[in-house]
């Protein structure tokens, strides 16, 4: 509809300019205006700023120009446009006909799971990297944030018509932190009783001893070299067993969160590749300095940093350069997106700048986006990693709250378990996703687990309500077959809002931020709640009965598809 209106506006403007003495030298190709959904449906469904743009060129008052353009629309019979109106300071609002909404609701029902799909990325190939874990460390709340945003963006990209999308994770499987864990496992003689819990405790103990015990520090440094060089030893056997346990745990927790990965590329692999690239580019890009090899970032508005240290080990910067080489050798793509913590922003500026000099394509096709930090309110979690709560502990804490809330409900124990799991994960994900890209997030336990207000459970319950209405219609054997007639009454606001779903998806794609979809779904659910309170949907005496039931079906589809984009599981009842 936007394109139809845009073309009509162009025709009207051509007519207007031909009659205006100030428009003789006007270059029509330079006219760039917008048509957007109105923020308030009381002022029409679509609005254009064309008069505001054109007024300066024609030396006219924008509002007066808008009124004159609107008058010209009166001579044109445009299908599905009921009224055109000029409003101060110079916008032109378009009111869509009831018939248009009628047809669109029918289209949504036919599209079903395909509703919301766009062709914004038609023909494009993407790589998306997220949820990269530190092996030998349990998945903590920072990883939960990264996974929630990353998984949602992956789903939004798929919904936007991408030709192919490869999901990657980049586990850190070699680092001084791993050496600390291996040392602690050996020190505590946990080799034969190793599990993910003990790995977490070992990391915390090894980190503490490294700071406070000089002997332990020396032993850990030796183990670090042994692991880097892959020397056969007791420590290497502990490492191999711990790595497999960590990978199994990573798969378990990410699948619990709804993620699967097409490939894993390990830091140990990328480090070797990165070191070779760095050494090949001395002195043109990198320089030797006090036994180390650095990139002179200060010459490019950044800061100098070490890529290979004096011991010959590649730093994280080198590993990320090596990863770029592996990506470009292994895959064919138009864009690679990596989501990272906001604290790593400067790190990736260095990676991107160094990559620009090594191979410009690496830099041009790589995008690094950041997420904020998660702060917890109203919840205390004893952590095995000092002050960093673990994702699994947080999920279980929220899950216990939900179980308490539904303990009196008439559900079987298995149903309660399923509901609590899906609602807990949904509450956490929604709290993360409703915030804009890069902003810090506050998880307030009491607010986030409420079944009312701007929460995940509220959205899940809105969908359950649509399920209930439609199931009741079946039970009552209410017929809703045949073509929908045009509404007798006014078109409800929720019916107008439902058409904005693809716009929310497009905005989230543009900004790499799922909050547009999250906020849209909350507003849609709130408007549905108002509609439901004022309308007896199953009242067959209502002349708009069929339209209302079709609207509920379209809402069910939109809420379900939207929650899927957020990575939130749906429920039949709750």
Q: Measured between alpha carbons, how far is residue 373 from residues 115, 296, 368, 390, 410 in Å?
A: 33, 30, 16, 14, 38
Query: For residue 30, what are the contacts with CB-CB under 8 A and spacing of at least 6?
Result: none
Residue 92, φ and ψ in degrees, nearest 5: -120, 120
Query: For residue 540, what are the contacts with CB-CB under 8 A and spacing of at least 6?
Result: 478
Q: How confident is the model at residue 42 (pLDDT cuts 50, 70, 90)?
A: confident
Q: What residue spans in the chain does CATH classification 3.30.1360.70 cover? A: 2-96
d(CA 379, CA 397): 8
Q: What is the DSSP string of 89-153?
A: TTEEEEEEPHHHHHHHHHHHHHHGGGTT---TTBT-EEEEE----BTTS--BHHHHHHHHHHHHH
Q: What is the DSSP string of 488-529?
A: SSPPPHHHHHGGGHHHHHHHHHHHT-THHHHHHHHHHHHHHH
Q: What is the predicted pLDDT for the residue at 488?
A: 93
The 10s digit of each residue's pLDDT in 253-312 is: 999 999 999 999 999 999 999 999 999 999 999 999 999 999 999 999 999 999 999 989
Question: Could you tell me which residue, 107 or 26, shows the higher pLDDT?
Answer: 107
d(CA 171, CA 177): 13
First CA to last CA across the chain, in angstroms?
A: 38
Q: What is the DSSP string of 45-103?
A: SEEE-HHHHHHHHHT--HHHHHHHHHHHHTT---TTEEEEEEETTTEEEEEEPHHHHHH
Stretch 155-182: mean pLDDT:
96
pTM over 0.85: yes
Q: What is the predicted pLDDT for the residue at 502?
A: 96
Separate counts of helices (H) and strands (E) for the chain: 21, 14
Mean pLDDT, the chain, whole residue set = 92
Stretch 138-165: mean pLDDT:
95
CATH number at 391-565: 1.10.730.10
What six digits make up the tokens of 453?
Answer: 């207000």
Secondary structure (3-state) at 351? helix
Beta strands in 143-192 (DSSP E): 164-169
d(CA 273, CA 189): 35
Q: How confident is the model at residue 23 (pLDDT cuts 50, 70, 90)?
A: low
Stretch 454-460: mean pLDDT:
98
Categorise residue 453: left if φ over 0, alpha if ψ from -120 to 50, beta otherwise.
left
Stretch 452-478: mean pLDDT:
92
Exposure on the CB side of residue 407, measured as CA atoms within 13 A: 6
Q: What is the predicted pLDDT for the residue at 304?
A: 96
Secondary structure (3-state) at 240? helix
Question: Could you tell me which residue, 482 or 519, shows the higher pLDDT?
Answer: 519
Q: What is the predicted pLDDT for the residue at 382?
A: 43
Query: For residue 252, what are the contacts with CB-CB under 8 A and spacing of at least 6?
Result: none
Q: What is the predicted pLDDT for the residue at 138?
A: 83
Q: How confident is the model at residue 365 (pLDDT cuts 50, 70, 90)?
A: very high
Q: What is the predicted pLDDT for the residue at 135?
A: 92
Stretch 51-78: mean pLDDT:
86
Strands 81-87 and 91-96, bridge-based pairing: antiparallel
Q: What is the predicted pLDDT for the residue at 566?
A: 98
From the CB of residue 520, how many other CB atoms can be counted at a distance below 10 Å? Answer: 20
Q: How confident is the model at residue 385 (pLDDT cuts 50, 70, 90)?
A: very low
CATH number at 2-96: 3.30.1360.70
Stretch 137-154: mean pLDDT:
94
The distance from CA 498 to its chain's CA centroid, rounded to whole angstroms, is 20
Q: How confident is the model at residue 479 (pLDDT cuts 50, 70, 90)?
A: low
Q: How confident is the model at residue 76 (pLDDT cuts 50, 70, 90)?
A: confident
Q: What residue spans in the chain does CATH classification 1.10.730.10 cover? A: 391-565
Q: How confident is the model at residue 197 (pLDDT cuts 50, 70, 90)?
A: confident
Secondary structure (3-state) at 426? helix
Q: For helices 234-256 and 196-212, what crossing angle results, to 10°?
A: 120
């Amino acid at each position: 509809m936007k394109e139809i209106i845009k073309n009509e506006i162009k025709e009207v403007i051509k007519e207007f300019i031909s009659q205006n003495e100030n428009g003789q030298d006007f270059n029509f190709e330079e006219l760039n205006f917008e048509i957007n959904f109105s923020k308030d449906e009381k002022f029409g469904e679509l609005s254009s700023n064309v008069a505001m743009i054109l007024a300066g060129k024609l030396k006219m008052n924008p509002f007066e120009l808008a009124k004159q353009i609107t008058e010209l629309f009166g001579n044109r019979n445009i299908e599905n446009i009921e009224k055109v109106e000029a409003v101060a300071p110079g916008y032109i609002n378009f009111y869509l006909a009831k018939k248009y909404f009628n047809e669109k609701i029918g289209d949504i029902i036919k599209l079903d799971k395909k509703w919301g799909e766009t062709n914004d990325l038609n023909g494009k190939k993407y790589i998306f990297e997220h949820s990269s874990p530190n092996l030998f460390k349990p998945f903590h709340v920072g990883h939960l944030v990264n996974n929630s945003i990353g998984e949602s963006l992956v789903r939004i990209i798929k919904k936007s018509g991408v030709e192919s999308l490869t999901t990657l994770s980049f586990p850190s499987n070699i680092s001084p932190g791993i050496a600390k864990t291996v040392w602690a496992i050996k020190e505590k003689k946990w080799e034969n009783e190793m599990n993910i819990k003990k790995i977490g405790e070992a990391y915390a103990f090894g980190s503490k001893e490294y700071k406070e015990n000089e002997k332990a520090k020396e032993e850990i440094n030796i183990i670090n070299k042994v692991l880097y060089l892959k020397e056969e030893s007791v420590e290497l056997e502990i490492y191999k067993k711990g790595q497999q346990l960590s990978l199994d745990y990573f798969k378990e927790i990410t699948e619990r969160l709804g993620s699967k990965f097409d490939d894993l590329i390990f830091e140990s692999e990328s480090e070797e590749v990165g070191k070779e690239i760095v050494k090949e580019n001395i002195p043109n890009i990198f320089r030797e300095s006090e036994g180390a090899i650095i990139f002179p970032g200060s010459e490019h508005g950044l800061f100098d940093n070490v890529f290979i240290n004096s011991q010959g080990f590649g730093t994280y910067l080198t590993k990320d350069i090596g990863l770029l080489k592996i990506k470009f050798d292994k895959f064919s793509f138009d864009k690679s997106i990596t989501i990272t913590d906001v604290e790593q922003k400067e790190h990736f500026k260095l990676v991107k700048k160094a990559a620009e000099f090594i191979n410009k394509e690496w830099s041009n096709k790589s995008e690094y986006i950041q997420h904020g930090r998660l702060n917890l309110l109203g919840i205390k979690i004893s952590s095995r990693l000092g002050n960093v709560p673990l994702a699994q502990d947080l999920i279980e804490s929220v899950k216990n709250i939900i179980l308490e809330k539904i303990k009196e409900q008439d559900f079987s124990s298995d149903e309660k378990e399923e509901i609590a799991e899906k609602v807990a994960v949904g509450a956490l994900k929604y709290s993360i996703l409703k915030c804009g890209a890069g902003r810090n997030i506050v998880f307030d336990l009491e607010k986030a687990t409420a079944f009312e207000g701007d929460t995940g459970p509220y959205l899940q319950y809105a969908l359950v309500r649509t399920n209930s209405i439609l199931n009741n219609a079946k039970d009552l054997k209410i017929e809703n077959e045949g073509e929908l007639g045009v509404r007798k009454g006014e078109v409800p606001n929720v019916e107008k809002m439902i058409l904005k779903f693809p716009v929310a998806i497009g905005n989230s794609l543009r900004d790499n931020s799922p909050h547009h979809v999250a906020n849209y779904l909350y507003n849609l659910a709130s408007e549905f709640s108002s509609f439901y309170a004022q309308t007896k949907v199953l009242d067959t005496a209502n002349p708009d009965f069929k339209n209302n039931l079709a609207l509920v079906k379209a809402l069910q589809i939109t809420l379900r598809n939207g929650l899927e984009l957020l990575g939130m599981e749906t429920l039949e009842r709750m």
